[in-house]
Structure 1
Amino acid sequence: MKYLIALALLIISLSTHALPIPASTLYRSPMMSHVTFTPNGKHISALIVEEGKSYISLIDTRDKEYQHIGSFDSDERLSEYSWINDETLYIHYVKRGESRHVLLKLSEKEGKFTSELVPLPNDSYLVDPLVDEPGYVLFAKNRYDGRLSYQLYKLTLAQLLDKDFDKGSLVEQKLKDVAFFGWDNIRKALFAVTVDIEAMKGEVLYRELTDRRWKHLFEITDKKVQFSPIGFIGDDKLAVLSNENTDKIALYEFEIASQKLGKLIYEHPKYDLVSGQVNNAGNGISSVTYVENGQHVIQFLDSGTTEGDSLIKHHFKGKEGVVSAYAPDNKHQVLFVYASNDPGSYYLYDQEADKVELLTELNPELMAFDLSDTQVFSVESVPGVNVEGYLTLPNSQSLNGVLLVMPHGGPIGIRDYNYFNNDTQYFASRGFAVLRVNFRGSQGYGKSFLNSGKGEFGKAIEQDITAAVNHVRKQYPFEKMCAMGASYGGYSALMLAISHPKDYQCAVGAYGVYDLPLLFNGSNYKVLEEYRKTVSEIVGELSDDLLKYSPVYLADKIEAPVLLIAGKEDRIADFEHSQRMQYVLEKQGKRVEHLYYDKTAHGQNTWYWQQHENAYVADYFKRTLALSEYHEMAGVKPELAHQLGYDLAIIADGYNFDNKVENSPSQALAYYHQAALAGDGRSAYNYGIKLVQKGKQLLKETQGKQTTELMGVDDSQEGTRLVADGISWVEIGSSLGYASASNWLGLLYDEGEEVTQDLAKAVEFYSAAVEQGYDARSQLRMGKIYCLAKDELRDVKRCTELLALSKLADLPKKDQKNAVTDDSRKLLHWIISQLYTYGHFDAKEIQLIQDLVKQEYGVSDVQVMLEGVEAGAIEYSRYYKKYRIYEKRKRFDASPSLVLGMVFEVEPQKGVDQQSKVAFIAKWTKEDDKGRKEIVQTNFLWGSQEDTWSTRISFGDDELFKGKLTVELSDLNNNLLATKTLELL
């Protein structure tokens, strides 16, 4: 207890209670991104996310009012957009993996915008809007189908809108097999990447727009190497995207004279870069873009101006930031401001007034949480080598005394930043202190420091991390430590536990490399000399010496429990690394868990699965280190506890549904139980349903058998107990506001199978489901009860009001609390057939029901006669495009494959429109050999009189019987129109 008090006293700005942040709050798309100004500077445009839906929006610089001008469906993701003029926006987006290109034409009337979408050919794209030549654009279009060979056009906007490339000016047509055209707006230079498929090589060229001669920049001889120029950042230097020296596409300087990649400007720890932006001064990169969770994310690097830096420092003390967009007249700027405990906010800066106004926080929901600050320190690892570390301490009186050591990936050329970090905040909010270290090999501390990390896997790098750990532990007496990391960080986490077995109580390795020799031969590609040379430079030469630093061969030294996380489609750290590590740990009798994801490569690619992974790791720490439940931390109120329960629920879902995680019914049940205890209504429902299912299965298995003892409890009693417990948990789910639980309970008491039928209770739960937003089925089932009840619940008028589905469907979407679905429409058909079959109504009540049917289905009450009535075995004829009786026998052998039916036609009546709609009720009744009758199916049929009509029935294995089967057909006035009887043998 003393160390907890000492640590708490040292933390500055301590809140009363810092609360754990739900994964769904942290791991989500930013509210605003892709920010720029319209050409006239009157509006800011941005990608806005509201309630899970994405929009292109305009924000008025005067009153800050938002207007959505375009939206994206759930399967669509914005890649980029560019303003061509004030009325035209070019948009490139991806729909289900396929690129789409459109123009958005805007019209403004009295400050309100309307838009029109103009699709462009998918084999074309905007190279540049040519802001210095209003009315013209540079546009590339592929000349062939199935083969890349772009041509470059200079088009007027009218030509582009008409997709009239023939009237445009061909800027470049001689270059063959062009895979990419680019444009440097500052230098007015073109770039081109050509590909020779047969020779398996490519070439990067450039020229000024007015020059017809192309100059050679770079030759690509390895098909695995990518090289994309971004723009000039000096007279003899380019910024380029390449993966020549790294396993991911990173941003480099390219020295034209030497034809070599120079300084590494930026490499993301997890993702390939897809684009970059040269700053306005043309001397550096202002931002890069990568794809995270299906969304293009812009990472700001540099404002490019000292004015921007001083502006941030003047208005935002203790924060960092960049100028993310400039108005054309420079009177306004959009600032992006952030800190280690602030994910960031966008502000509008008015230069004349020297005033900033908030546009939005990146994640407004985080404002409710006390985010942890990060301390920056430096420590001498070995004489002459200082490393920088970041220590994030929880702002909480509920410190759990655990230090998480979190090495970054790479390891060469990557680094941690003192920026806001989702993972750091997620664990810090749960009471963990988090340590990150920029060890030797990290970027940003000079070439010598970077190179000194090469070949130091398990050696100098872990020495640096340990020096930082010792420095922190001298200041703060942590009781427990765990190492966790991804990619190289996963390797390092296990090596730290191996090297310091007494210090680490657990280790989490995600997407890690654990067998260093395997890096050289994990696939056919990895045996190539070019690849081996790159690996050797980072890891060291292939030799037996690597075995000394491979966790797979050091498993006997691991004392701490280990969690291995891997993607089965990982091509960077092959899945076999984790499989080998798991195997040797299990052979050594070590404690090891694994979490392996299908359809996953070197990390997660959606927010949902990031939530899943981190929720699982947090739960692993809780279980392994015997920590308190996160939802029971001080200050956690029921609503937050429910959200924290969702963290556990998505773990359960992983085990319950066919997704990326191997199914485990027992694990799903356990995690749903934990989530239910935290207050998650859906989990309480799922847990209850699973108990009911187990109980019913046990009762079914013991039915008709002599009871046996199961753990001292009678099987049938155990089954009954499980059913009762399950119902209780579903009731808890209902009380927690989960609509499906309430609807299920309504059905339970409506049908009276596992409980005594109680229609009043059924109505109570159906009403709750309606209030909680269940679809229209709860309302319909409640209506059925009001029509068929035999006591004070009976209210036919109320029944028909609730069954009026069309009125609900006609409401505006925003007012539709209970969605009208296909399932609810099908349910209404069935309910109407039930009313006519089981209901006993007076003339006034019958009229109400007939009026309802006319309103919902547009049928008339015209008297009709039938003809062509046949019954027997039925099938659908593709030739006649209708059901037909193919066996007219009256006797059939009962089998699950047998489908019986009746077909008929409506006899034409003089003076009656044959296209007017009519309706019928079909009732199927079985009679066994003892004369006992039971209605087994009812159908509501409606359509135009000229249709060919049918009603059909089939039986499952447990529904088969021997006896008579009678079908009766009646009209809406309960007049019997036809009847047929068949016999099952």
Structure 2
Amino acid sequence: MRIIISFLIACNFLFSSQAAVIPADKLFSSPKYSKAKVSPNGLFLSITEKDEKNTYFKIINLETLETFNAKSFQSKTRIKEYSWLNDSKIHFKLYKNSKEVEYILAFTFKDNVKDTRFYTLNNGYMVDSLPTEPNHILYGRRNNQHHRLYKVPIDDFKYSFSKMKNAKLLDDAQKEIIGYSYDNHFERIITTELDLQNKEIIFRWRELSSSTWHTLFSYSPKDYHIIPAGFISEDVIAVLSNKNTDKVALHEFDIKTQTLGKVLFEHPQYDLIDAQFNKQGQLKSVSYYQKGVYTSQHFDLTKKKLTTQLKKALDNHEVYIIDSDHSNTKKLLYVNSASHPGAYYLYDSNINRIELLYESFPDLMSFNFAPSKYLSVTSKDGTKLDAFLTTPTGIDHDTLIVMPHGGPIGIHETDYFDPNIQYLANRGFSVLRVNFRGSAGYGKTFLQQGVGQFGQLIEQDITATVNQVLQSHQYKNVCAMGSSYGGYSSVMLAMKHPQQYSCVVAAYGIYDLPLLFNTSNYRSGDEYRSHIEGVVGKLDDSLTKLSPVYTAHKLQAPLLLIAGVDDEVSGIEQSNRFKFVLEQNNKSVDPVFYRKTGHGHSSWLWERHEAILKADFLYTTLGLKTHDIKTLNEMEKESLREDYMLLADSFEFGYLVEKDAKKSYRYYLKAAELEDARALFNIGSFFHRGQMVEYDFKKAMANYEQSANLGYASAHSRLGQLYMEGMKVERNHDKAYKYLTEANRLDDSYNNVMLLGRFFCTADEQYKNIDTCIEKFTLKDTHKLSNKKSRKVFDQRRSELAKAFMQGLYTPEEIAKLKVFMKETYNLTHLDFELDVEEAGIFEYRLGDKYRESGRYHQISDGYHVKGKNLSYGLRFTTDISGIDMRTHRTALIMMWTKQSKDGKSEPVKYSLLWGNPREDFIAIRSVESNDDNTNYSLQIYNLDKTLLYSKSFLVSQE
């Protein structure tokens, strides 16, 4: 253990001066180490370790520190939870291929012997591990009519259930119970039953050795809250309930009389969420969220003193005892806080020593995170509110982000490490969060006061908090940002206080409150409407006045509107309507609708994308300078480059968002300013194409050269190709060779290999080498490619070979070598032929008439003037050779399309090698493109001797 400790401390010391800019990909990620537990005998630690592809279940000998990788799980399998059954067996609940399955892992780890065996629980589930019988478990199985409970020896799970001869049936419930549980102290089985007719939850119990069931209690969750917390005696249990109290308190409950007894504990401010009892039924502790932090109040003075000492020893971060061995001497601690992403420690009470085991996020431990400040706020009517203010530790844009939470009823803000908040703080923004009326954890009255208060009391609470913060610091900018209800609230805050809010970010929100009552046929029944009323209030005209869709004219602040196309919670129609009316009112709205996304993202990549998008919206809208490039180190630049490239690529290629060339160019430009090599190359391409900017070949070349200097292979490839072909630059074989060979050195892809091959075919005598050219086109290991990739590579080879034939000057001997290569590569049998033109002119593509019948180009004219966006033009032909064998004979020719530029010069736009059976149709057809405006295109067909066989020109326009 000391080796682990000293190693980690050394690493933190080495990297303690790491960049202030926290990389978003490290912040928005799953913990590397999680789910740690201690074996009952205290000898082993178990923990999961995650990398990009797999999750590994590791067992560590705490005495020798030897590690055993007991099991690996692929990305489609997720460990939901696990527990130690005894010192050599572990129970797992897994999500595998979207289904929940359970296993038992039996392992051997001693004397250099490491072995594992996995047993499935045969479509059942573990109810309890039976600590008093460590070799047995309670095991539940259900089918359509029965729900059965068994006591089964663990070793029997190596067999199928039908062969478990020692499985003892304890109960056969023919009722619709939710499941079984077990009370270890009093050895009682407990069932939870859902009575759909009476809308009640019923708890029943029986002793393990008896068959008689007793009603523990029943209740309607709509009326009040009641959850069993543990048996106090044979006939009395403790329950967490707010039936007779405003707060969820700990009560006695008499099983025989079915009545609540005295209050054992009630917090004056917060709802209780848990209570712990010892084996004698005495109360050990109660838990609640205090000031946003899960807090346990201990009644055992020794335990209370220990937790205080542990917290003090660990820099006053929150400390939780999450597991211990059976002797209670080795305690596993989890430490975290708003500014600490989490770590596991081991406390050994025998020697009073704390030792670090694993950081949850090792890549983050060298960064400083922003702490949060707890605020106590008094609302206008005197109600006390909890709030949390997170302020930047580095760059500070003097901008306050007001962030209402979702729900709004029954949800609350906590004060723990949050990547979204830390990302904003790290990028220079302060973040304010409020537990307004309707938030959970503050009692029934506080909760109910938020019902039906959309746009009213809730926003008043938020505004009271904002005003208190502004009394101590006058921020230059204030913006509102939220998701779900928080999206609605953010918009309403800006509408109600237009002079205060400079911008709004609303995600996955609701903007048309009446629409909530009938969003679909499935959401229009009485029960659903009653549920909505319990959050929004009654459906009447007042909801229209409180809906942004109907008051869009009031919004003055620019809005970033984010939605998920597959959102089944808010519904995409909410955002569609709001977008429409904002655009109709000429409001500044930037809509970003994520495809394949619901009420938020299901992957860290797109969580990260959205966070970067939001921050950039703030920078752009408020006119803020992101960072001073001169002060950034290389690691910081790389972090920001990756941010902007993620945004740029998504809008360039349409990854989950709509393609947007304007946005992609802007983000590529931001990355290029940070010297991102690929971004510089892409900016050069924009200038080269004249897309989003005026055509400027000199600027294109400057960007290509800067990108090449930074080591980007595609820039070397592009420059080499330009100098090889003499496209817009003077042909220069020295430069072409330099760039193309460097492109191959950096990236020996098929593309770069073939470009270099074409160079050796078409260069001057100094570099020309037909044998080397042919060797480059003899592609190797293509059998390892997928079908899709191999088709792409072979298509490119046909294009590059066509260019090599047409652009090179060859002796008869060189042509002969190339033709031999072509014949061997494509199994050609006939190279001498004439064209038999079947159709030439203008074509229209039509789908087949029959099911699964492919479409076909149909000639509609033999003219040359092509007018229309959906038209195509060109040639359909065969090669005329007598004595053709359709099974074995093959021929080939070269197709070249050229475009006449504005200065009258011809510029090649496409080359291709066409090959196949001579009697089959060859097609050389192009479609009208968006930039065609009275453009002249010419088609030429050549044989492999470079003899022109056919030529035709077309005048093309979209209208």
Q: 1:571 touches 1:602 (CA, 8 Å); kept in 2?
A: yes
> Closer, same or farther in 2 for the Cα pair 1:590/1:102, shift >3 Å?
same
Aligned position for 2:576: 579
Q: 1:783 touches 1:799 (CA, 8 Å); kept in 2?
A: yes
How far is the alpha carbon of 1:733 from its aligned partner?
4.4
Q: 2:890 touches 2:918 (CA, 8 Å); kept in 1?
A: no
- What does 1:280-291 align with in structure 2 at a 5 Å threshold? none
- What does 1:162-311 align with in structure 2 at a 5 Å threshold? 162-168=159-165, 169-171=167-169, 174-176=172-174, 180-184=178-182, 186-187=184-185, 188-192=187-191, 206-215=205-214, 232=230, 236=237, 257=258, 306=304, 309-311=307-309
CA deviation string 1:537-556 (max 9, x = no partner): 44333333334433334333
1:542 aligns with 2:539: yes
Q: Out of 326, 330, 333, which is 1:332 matched to?
A: 330
Q: Out of 362, 365, 388, which is 1:364 matched to?
A: 362
1:26 aligns with 2:21: no
Greater Cα shift, 779-788 or 513-522: 779-788
CA distance in 2 between counterparts of 1:735 and 1:253 reads 73
Q: Give the alignment's Cα RMSD to 1 decimal.
A: 5.7
How far is the alpha carbon of 1:625 from its aligned partner?
0.9
- What does 1:582-981 align with in structure 2 at a 5 Å threshold? 582-628=579-625, 630-632=626-628, 635-689=631-685, 692=688, 721=696, 725-726=699-700, 728-736=702-710, 738=712, 791=766, 823=789, 924=892, 955-957=923-925
Greater Cα shift, 74-83 or 189-198: 189-198
How far is the alpha carbon of 1:377 from its aligned partner?
2.3
SS in 2 for 1:30: coil
CA distance in 2 between counterparts of 1:904 and 1:200 reads 75
How far is the alpha carbon of 1:569 from its aligned partner?
3.2
Task: Tell me the TM-score normalized by structure 1.
Answer: 0.69
How far is the alpha carbon of 1:229 from its aligned partner?
8.5
1:506 aligns with 2:507: no
CA distance in 2 between counterparts of 1:84 and 1:141 reads 19
CA distance in 2 between counterparts of 1:393 and 1:125 reads 47
CA distance in 2 between counterparts of 1:310 and 1:366 reads 27
> Closer, same or farther in 2 for the Cα pair 1:808/1:549, shift >3 Å?
closer
Aligned position for 2:46: 45
Q: 2:338 touches 2:418 (CA, 8 Å); kept in 1?
A: yes
Aligned position for 1:415: 412
CA deviation string 1:886-906 (max 9, x = no partner): xxxxxxxx9769799998999
CA distance in 2 between counterparts of 1:961 and 1:390 reads 69
CA distance in 1 between counterparts of 2:492 and 2:689 reads 46
> Closer, same or farther in 2 for the Cα pair 1:597/1:355, shift >3 Å?
same
CA distance in 2 between counterparts of 1:38 and 1:923 reads 73
CA distance in 2 between counterparts of 1:497 and 1:825 reads 54
SS in 2 for 1:415: coil
> Closer, same or farther in 2 for the Cα pair 1:658/1:498, shift >3 Å?
closer
How far is the alpha carbon of 1:29 from its aligned partner?
0.6
SS in 2 for 1:417: coil
> Closer, same or farther in 2 for the Cα pair 1:579/1:937, shift >3 Å?
closer
How far is the alpha carbon of 1:827 from its aligned partner?
5.9
Greater Cα shift, 895-904 or 427-436: 895-904
CA distance in 2 between counterparts of 1:228 and 1:575 reads 36
CA distance in 2 between counterparts of 1:646 and 1:388 reads 37
Relative contact order, higher structure (CA 8 A, sep 6+): 1
How far is the alpha carbon of 1:433 from its aligned partner?
1.6
Task: Tell me the TM-score normalized by structure 2.
Answer: 0.70
How far is the alpha carbon of 1:622 from its aligned partner?
1.2
Q: Which amino acid aligns with 1:391?
A: L
Aligned position for 2:842: none
Aligned position for 1:497: 494
How far is the alpha carbon of 1:419 from its aligned partner?
1.9
> Closer, same or farther in 2 for the Cα pair 1:935/1:492, shift >3 Å?
closer
> Closer, same or farther in 2 for the Cα pair 1:822/1:579, shift >3 Å?
closer
CA distance in 1 between counterparts of 2:662 and 2:29 reads 29
SS in 2 for 1:382: coil
How far is the alpha carbon of 1:100 from its aligned partner?
4.5
CA deviation string 1:911-935 (max 9, x = no partner): xxxxxxxxxx99845699xxxxx99
1:450 aligns with 2:417: no
Aligned residues: 827
How far is the alpha carbon of 1:329 from its aligned partner?
3.5
How far is the alpha carbon of 1:57 from its aligned partner?
2.0
Aligned position for 2:563: 566
Greater Cα shift, 786-795 or 479-488: 786-795
SS in 2 for 1:522: coil
Aligned position for 2:427: 430
> Closer, same or farther in 2 for the Cα pair 1:509/1:285, shift >3 Å?
farther
Long gaps (5+) in structure 2: 1-15, 242-247, 267-272, 830-834, 837-873, 897-909, 927-936, 953-959
Q: 1:218 touches 1:259 (CA, 8 Å); kept in 2?
A: no
CA deviation string 1:111-168 (max 9, x = no partner): 47454555665x434434444323333334454xxx5855444333343122243424
CA deviation string 1:642-682 (max 9, x = no partner): 32232233323332334432232333333233233334444
How far is the alpha carbon of 1:343 from its aligned partner?
1.6
CA deviation string 1:743-802 (max 9, x = no partner): 666666677777677676566556656766776765787689789986469799999899
CA distance in 2 between counterparts of 1:32 and 1:745 reads 46
1:70 aligns with 2:71: yes
Q: 2:385 touches 2:436 (CA, 8 Å); kept in 1?
A: yes
1:556 aligns with 2:524: no
Greater Cα shift, 305-314 or 619-628: 305-314
Q: 2:18 touches 2:366 (CA, 8 Å); kept in 1?
A: no
How far is the alpha carbon of 1:962 from its aligned partner?
9.3
Q: 2:450 touches 2:457 (CA, 8 Å); kept in 1?
A: yes
CA deviation string 1:507-538 (max 9, x = no partner): 22222233333333334454433444443344
Aligned position for 2:483: 486
SS in 2 for 1:159: helix
Q: 2:32 touches 2:50 (CA, 8 Å); kept in 1?
A: yes
How far is the alpha carbon of 1:52 from its aligned partner?
5.6
Aligned position for 1:12: none
1:319 aligns with 2:308: no
Aligned position for 2:156: 159
CA distance in 2 between counterparts of 1:671 and 1:438 reads 36
SS in 2 for 1:469: helix
How far is the alpha carbon of 1:482 from its aligned partner?
0.8
Q: Out of 465, 470, 475, which is 1:468 matched to?
A: 465
Q: 1:926 touches 1:965 (CA, 8 Å); kept in 2?
A: yes
CA distance in 1 between counterparts of 2:770 and 2:736 reads 15
Q: 1:652 touches 1:668 (CA, 8 Å); kept in 2?
A: yes
Aligned position for 2:933: none
CA deviation string 1:942-985 (max 9, x = no partner): xxxxxxx9999965426998989789xxxxxxxxxxxxxx9999
> Closer, same or farther in 2 for the Cα pair 1:37/1:589, shift >3 Å?
same
CA distance in 2 between counterparts of 1:601 and 1:47 reads 29
CA deviation string 1:203-241 (max 9, x = no partner): 76554443334455788999x99x99897487545689x
CA distance in 1 between counterparts of 2:197 and 2:731 reads 76
CA distance in 1 between counterparts of 2:175 and 2:736 reads 69
Q: 2:648 touches 2:665 (CA, 8 Å); kept in 1?
A: yes
CA distance in 1 between counterparts of 2:566 and 2:178 reads 29
How far is the alpha carbon of 1:626 from its aligned partner?
1.0
CA distance in 2 between counterparts of 1:578 and 1:590 reads 15
CA distance in 2 between counterparts of 1:167 and 1:683 reads 64
Q: 1:302 touches 1:322 (CA, 8 Å); kept in 2?
A: no
Aligned position for 2:124: 124
